[in-house]
Chain A
Amino acid sequence: MSFVSVRNVFQTYGRRPIIERVDLDVTEGEFISIVGASGCGKSTFLRLLLAQERPTRGEIRIADAPPASEPGLDRGVVFQRYSVFPHLTVRENIVAGEGFRRGWGRFFGAARRAALTRADDTLARIGLDHVAGHYPATLSGGMQQRLAIGQALAARPRVLLLDEPFGALDPGTRQSMHAFLTDLRTETGMTVFMVTHDLEEAFKLGDRVLVFDKPRWDPHDPDVNGATITYDFDARNGGIPFQTLEEKTHVLHPV
């Protein structure tokens, strides 16, 4: 049984279809990269996975739970920007990962001390212990994204969703973030969905690479068709692309 199952999902804004007929099965612990041209529904699909939006048709289940109606603890997310709370220090941001679910959104007394200790451990692991007392605005882009990932993981989600998390970083920082993310994954074995514009990054990090595109294109009315998963690549084996074609539905197969 698949861990994340997407069944015949359509999403329409007004009369404009964005994505249509998306089916997907993901086993626990897989890293799924999602690529595609701008406006091809990658981010919409991620919002659907996040339950920030509900699909017009079809359903998305995680671990056989009923389809979620709003974002919750089982889905962690890191956006390209605004992923950490600017009014909390780095340490408090990590504590928030565990504390926000509580009645007052914070820990008190002994629980607070324990949470702070755990946060310091997390910070040491993600290499931010030297800036624990700083506010995120004083951190570099790479450090902010590391903090955002650390914060999302502190909540222990079932699935981690990344929306172009390294899009705003310079190439060097990006490389170190890749290593950081790979390490974290080996440690936690988490299921990850990552939307990216960078094909190399998609194949390097992902176990599978999904391509979103419009299978049909009406030159007179480009908006009449929605996008769907047109390719589903196996991207394991050192990230060398195009070994195995896993997609069965919407592509022409070599006879």
Chain B
Amino acid sequence: MRLINLKPGRPLAVFLALLPFALAFLAYAVASQIRLEANAADKLLPAPGTVWDTAVRLTTEGDRRTGRILFWHDTWASLQRLGLGIGISAGVGLIFGLLIGLLPLMRSFLAQFVAVLSMIPPLALLPILFIVFGLGELSKVVLIVIGTLPFLIRDLSQRVLDLPEELLVKAQTLGASSWVIAIRVALPQVMPRLIQSVRLSLGPAWLFLIAAEAIASDLGLGYRIFLVRRYLAMDVILTYVIWITILAFLIDWTLRWVSRRYFPWAGAGL
């Protein structure tokens, strides 16, 4: 039988899906064991048990000076920046995507400009953002917006352009104005795509968030990681990295659920 025709049953599929996680964990545990046997004070690869203890300590015990549990404050601060940045990006991207996709005049006016803008490496602008917007929340949110907005505009305007010409003509024969076509035909049909694009943008958004937090912040997941790097506190770093991964995965999963729940007609495209 050809390999391309070999399909796993349900139990095997689950087993195969879990296998790489187990293997990665095992590899880490073995490597950690080897290093700790050679030097019990090794900080580079703490034992899984140590990481777990640290995680429990970080999530339950308050800061010695302020009594706040910094882990949750970091999480809240980062999620706020991320949500704000991605939210603004999605909103503005949707509006400009519709304008560029639907109106030939706007397309001539802005499409090339956005294409050029999207080539600017956002991190190169970070110093400018810090200078202009200061070191507060604003510069971090703006970095996420700048980093993800051009992609969203280009992607969404392309989706609008991909709408079958027939649908737009049909809407016109039903007497729809440009406005009605935008809100009743184009907007609902690009909404699932917007969620899809936001899911794709989340990776870069986290990157920009952590980069901005690493450079100038006093709270946030990225800030904490770069802070404890000075003490080679690998157990803390690993806890935070795993937590960020879980957060990113949960956000992605939620968006996919929303998309399936509210746009059932979009079907297999999700």
Q: A21 CA to B223 CA in the complex, in Å?
A: 74
Q: Are A77 and B169 in contact, CB atoms less than 8 angstroms apart?
A: yes
Interface status of A96 (Cβ within 8 A of chain B)? yes
Interface status of B188 (Cβ within 8 A of chain A)? yes
Asked whether A71 and B265 contact (CB < 8 A) given A79-B166, A104-B180, the answer is no
Q: Mark B173-198, 1 if CB is under 8 A from A, else 0.
A: 11111011001110011000000000
Q: A238 CA to B173 CA in the complex, in Å?
A: 32
Q: Mark A116-136, 1 if CB is under 8 A from B, else 0.
A: 000000000000000000011
Out of B164, B172, B267, name the residue touching A71 (CB < 8 Å).
B172
Q: How far in angstroms is the closest Cβ of chain A from B160? A: 14
Q: How far in angstroms is the closest Cβ of chain B from A125? A: 19
Instruction: Report chain A residues within 8 Å CB of B266.
Output: 86-87
Interface status of A76 (Cβ within 8 A of chain B)? yes
Q: Are B265 and A87 in contact, CB atoms less than 8 angstroms apart?
A: yes
Q: How far in angstroms is the closest Cβ of chain A from B101? A: 16
Q: Mark B237-270, 1 if CB is under 8 A from A, else 0.
A: 0000000000000000000000000011111000
Interface status of B170 (Cβ within 8 A of chain A)? yes
Q: A164 CA to B267 CA in the complex, in Å?
A: 27
CB-contacts of A129-176 with B (<8 A): 135-137, 151-152, 155, 157
Instruction: Report chain B residues within 8 Å CB of A104.
Output: 180, 183
Q: Are B171 and A100 in contact, CB atoms less than 8 angstroms apart?
A: yes
Q: Are B174 and A73 in contact, CB atoms less than 8 angstroms apart?
A: yes
Q: Are A81 and B166 in contact, CB atoms less than 8 angstroms apart?
A: yes
Q: A89 CA to B106 CA in the complex, in Å?
A: 31
Q: A103 CA to B183 CA in the complex, in Å?
A: 11
Q: Are B176 and A157 in contact, CB atoms less than 8 angstroms apart?
A: no
Q: How far in angstroms is the closest Cβ of chain B from A235? A: 26
Q: A23 CA to B166 CA in the complex, in Å?
A: 26
Most buried by A among B171, B175, B177: B175
Q: A94 CA to B100 CA in the complex, in Å?
A: 29
Interface status of A250 (Cβ within 8 A of chain B)? no
Instruction: Report chain B residues within 8 Å CB of A79.
Output: 166, 169-170
CB-contacts of B147-175 with A (<8 A): 164, 166-167, 169-175
Mostly, the A contact residues are: loop
Interface status of A39 (Cβ within 8 A of chain B)? no
Asked whether A50 and B173 contact (CB < 8 A) given A85-B167, A87-B188, A87-B263, the answer is yes
Nearest opposing residue in chain A for B192, CB measure = A87
Asked whether A100 and B180 contact (CB < 8 A) given A72-B173, A135-B264, the answer is yes
Instruction: Report chain A residues within 8 Å CB of B188.
Output: 87
Instruction: Report chain B residues within 8 Å CB of A102.
Output: 180
CB-contacts of A52-91 with B (<8 A): 52, 70-73, 75-77, 79, 81-87
Q: Are A50 and B175 in contact, CB atoms less than 8 angstroms apart?
A: no
Q: A212 CA to B167 CA in the complex, in Å?
A: 26
Q: A151 CA to B184 CA in the complex, in Å?
A: 15
Q: How far in angstroms is the closest Cβ of chain A from B182? A: 9
Q: Are A152 and B173 in contact, CB atoms less than 8 angstroms apart?
A: yes
Instruction: Report chain A residues within 8 Å CB of B167.
Output: 82, 85
Q: Are B170 and A157 in contact, CB atoms less than 8 angstroms apart?
A: no
Beyond A76-B173, A85-B185, A87-B188, 4 additional pairs, beta carbon < 8 A: A87-B263, A101-B180, A151-B174, A155-B174
Ordered by A's residue number, 19 sampled pairs between the chains whose C-beta atoms are within 8 Å are A71-B169, A72-B172, A72-B175, A73-B173, A73-B175, A77-B169, A81-B166, A82-B167, A83-B166, A85-B185, A100-B174, A100-B175, A100-B176, A103-B179, A105-B176, A137-B265, A152-B170, A152-B173, A157-B173
| Interface, chain A (partner B; CB < 8 A) | 50, 52, 70-73, 75-77, 79, 81-87, 96-97, 100-106, 135-137, 151-152, 155, 157
